[in-house]
């Protein structure tokens, strides 16, 4: 029952604007603004993924170095696999060293 | 080869690395189902019905703790409220699509699929559709299987083995590729900083508040350019 309700709810949230704004003309400012939604949510999501449900943000040196190196490799090579491998390797190595 | 065929192959290929972080998550899912006391098959049914990892885990955790249907559902929806923003963002790109795709597409609109649409800005509607459906359904199929396996493996495994970190790494990689101006880097940074600040808000509300505030900063930046 709750699963069905939540399923309907998640679908509705994803569909609402795509379906409702199907014929609507977007003003240029709105279109420009929408360009920023992706970066804003992704930036926040990275941090949210590293925080506990209690609200503690678990970002130490291994995490920071892993994220920074992954972002650097991704920006330079535009290759997600290399970015992932680099970020994880640096994270694991530093975590083993720092403890 | 037709461009749509290339797009399908590309969509499938791009999905696999994104799925790596979802594997440990599917074990967490299995553990949550086991601890909740909900019948495994019923718990698993949330995968095809909801198709959203964090929302599923939130819902089943709360139900297992004896929360009411209304409370558990509300919390699960708040956790995934960022999908409202994905829906707005993609609305212009769904305008020149057939009606059926506007109804089917949102079902597949998870973080990872949205992220892929950020780096693949193909303007041709057919190519966009082929790519979107290919990556969405690949992820869907993998998530069906992984959560099924997770039901058995999750309860038997120790949770902490560091693979969870691959999720933020993956998303920061996509972010780094998709930001095309210093303003976007700034907005992403502000959003990340504010999420740290608001991390104490319940149900990951902080992410939503921080994103909205960062978008307000973007509005100011855009208005100043005019």
Confidence of residue B158 (pLDDT cuts 50, 70, 90): low
B125 near A CB under 8 A: no
B91-101 mean pLDDT: 86
Size of interface A-B (CB pairs under 8 A): 261
**B174 band by pLDDT with thresholds 50, 70 and 90:** confident
* Consecutive H or E run containing B33: helix B22-36
Quickly list H helices, B20-124. 22-36, 40-44, 46-50, 53-64, 69-79, 82-94, 99-104, 111-119
Cβ count within 10 A of residue A9:
20
* pLDDT of res. B159: 55
For chain A, give the percent of residues with pLDDT over 70.
97
Question: pLDDT by residue (tens digit) across B114-145?
Answer: 888 888 776 788 888 889 899 999 999 998 88
Of A13, A22, A29, nearest to B80 by CB-CB distance is: A13
Chain B, nearest residue to A96 by Cα:
B162
User: Which positions in chain B touch A15 (Cβ < 8 Å)?
Assistant: 87, 102-103, 106-107
DSSP assigned state of B124:
-
The burial class, CB within 10 Å (0-12 / 13-18 / 19+), for A54 is: exposed
The chain A residue lying nearest B216, using CA atoms, is A33
Residue B84 has pLDDT above 80, yes or no: yes
pLDDT of residue B1: 67
Inter-chain touch A50–B168, beta carbons under 8 Å? yes
List the one residue out of B113, B187, B181, B221 whose CA is nearest residue A37: B187
Residues with Cβ < 8 Å from B213, sequence gap 6 or more?
B190, B191, B194
Interface test with A, best of B115, B159, B171, B172 (most A CBs within 10 A): B172
Distance CA A41, CA B118 (A): 12
Asked if A2's CB is within 8 angstroms of B177's CB, the reply is no
Instruction: Report DSSP state, residue A99.
Output: -
Which two structure tokens, joined as six digits, stand for B49?
């019905």
Average pLDDT, chain A: 82
Tokens linked to B9: 């192959």
Query: Does any CB of chain A come closer than 8 Å to the CB of residue B49?
Result: yes
Contact B174, B115 (CB under 8 A): yes
Residue B63's pLDDT is: 77
Contact between chains at B102 and A67 (C-beta distance less than 8 A): no
B53-62, B90-99, B187-196 — most confident range:
B187-196
**SS3 at position A51:** strand
Q: Is B46 on the interface with A (CB under 8 A)?
A: yes
Both tokens assigned to A85: 């491998």
- Using left for φ > 0, alpha for ψ between -120 and 50, and beta otherwise, residue B33 falls in alpha
Answer for the pair B168, B195: CB distance below 8 angstroms, yes or no: no
A69 membership: H or E segment, kind and range? helix A61-77
Q: Which of A14, A42, A75 sits opposite B171 (nearest CB)?
A: A42
CA B115 to chain centroid, in Å, comes to 8
CB contact under 8 A, A84 and B166: yes
Report yes or no: A25 and B207 within 8 Å, Cβ to Cβ.
no
What value does the mean pLDDT take over residues B41-61? 81
Q: How far, in Å, are A53, B128, B195 from residue B57 at the CA level? A: 12, 31, 21
Asked if B199 lies within 8 A of A55 by C-beta distance, the reply is yes
Question: Taking CB atoms and an 8 Å limit, are B88 and A19 in contact across chains?
Answer: no
* Cα A90 to Cα A99: distance, rounded to the nearest angstrom: 13
Which residue in the set A14, A38, A73 is minimally distant from B178, CB to CB? A38
Token pair 């240029």 is found at: A28
Residues of chain B with Cβ-Cβ distance to A80 below 8 Å are 14, 17-18, 170, 173-174, 177
CA distance B165 to B15: 18
Q: Is residue B86 predicted with pLDDT exceeding 80?
A: yes
Range of A63-77, B151-165, B170-184 with top mean pLDDT: A63-77
Find out whether B203 and A28 touch, Cβ atoms under 8 Å.
no
Q: Where are the domains of chain B?
A: 3-160, 179-226
- Looking at residue B222, what is its pLDDT? 86
pLDDT at A67: 93
| Better pLDDT: B1 or B30 | B30
Band (pLDDT 50/70/90 cuts) for residue B34 is confident
Q: Decide if A33 contacts B222 (C-beta within 8 A).
A: yes
- State the Cα–Cα distance between residues A53 and B203, nearest whole angstrom: 7
Q: Which residues of chain A lie closer than 8 angstroms to B10, CB-CB?
A: none
Supply the pLDDT for residue B67: 65
pLDDT band at A95 (very low <50, low <70, confident <90, very high): confident
Mean pLDDT within B34-61: 81
Q: What is the DSSP letter of B66?
A: T
Kindly state the DSSP code that residue B39 receives in the 8-state scheme.
Answer: -
> A-contacting residues of B 66-105, CB under 8 Å?
69, 72-73, 76-77, 80-92, 94-95, 99, 102-103, 105
Partner-chain contact B73 A9, CB within 8 Å: yes
Contacts of A63 in chain B (CB under 8 A): 165, 168
Q: Positive or negative CA dihedral for B64, B20, B190, A55? A: positive
């Amino acid at each position: 029952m709750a699963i069905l309700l939540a399923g309907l709810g998640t679908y509705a949230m994803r569909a609402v604007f795509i379906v409702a704004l199907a014929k609507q003309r977007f003003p240029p400012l709105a279109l420009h603004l929408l360009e920023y939604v992706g970066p804003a949510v992704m930036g926040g999501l990275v941090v949210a993924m590293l925080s506990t449900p209690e609200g503690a943000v678990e970002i130490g040196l291994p995490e920071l170095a892993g994220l920074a190196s992954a972002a650097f490799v991704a920006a330079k090579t535009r290759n997600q696999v290399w970015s992932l491998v680099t970020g994880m390797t640096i994270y694991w190595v530093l975590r083993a060293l720092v403890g | 080869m037709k461009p749509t065929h290339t797009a399908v192959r590309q969509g499938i290929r791009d999905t696999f690395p994104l799925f790596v972080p979802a594997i440990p998550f599917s074990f967490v899912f299995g553990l949550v189902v086991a601890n909740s006391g909900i019948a495994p098959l019923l718990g698993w049914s949330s995968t095809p019905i909801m198709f959203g990892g964090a929302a599923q885990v939130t819902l089943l955790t709360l139900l297992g703790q004896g929360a009411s249907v209304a409370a558990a559902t509300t919390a699960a929806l708040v956790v995934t409220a960022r999908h409202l923003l994905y829906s707005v963002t993609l609305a212009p790109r769904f305008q020149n699509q057939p009606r059926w795709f506007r109804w089917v597409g949102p079902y597949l609109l998870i973080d990872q699929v949205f992220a892929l649409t950020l780096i693949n800005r193909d303007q041709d509607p057919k190519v966009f559709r082929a790519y979107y459906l290919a990556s969405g359904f690949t992820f869907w199929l993998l998530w069906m299987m992984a959560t099924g396996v997770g039901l058995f493996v999750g309860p038997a495994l120790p949770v902490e083995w560091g693979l969870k970190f691959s999720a933020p790494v993956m998303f920061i990689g996509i972010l780094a590729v998709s930001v095309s101006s210093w303003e976007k880097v700034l907005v992403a940074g502000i959003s990340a900083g504010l999420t740290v600040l608001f991390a104490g808000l319940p149900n990951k509300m902080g992410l939503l508040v921080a994103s909205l505030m960062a978008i307000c900063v973007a509005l100011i930046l855009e208005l100043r350019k005019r």
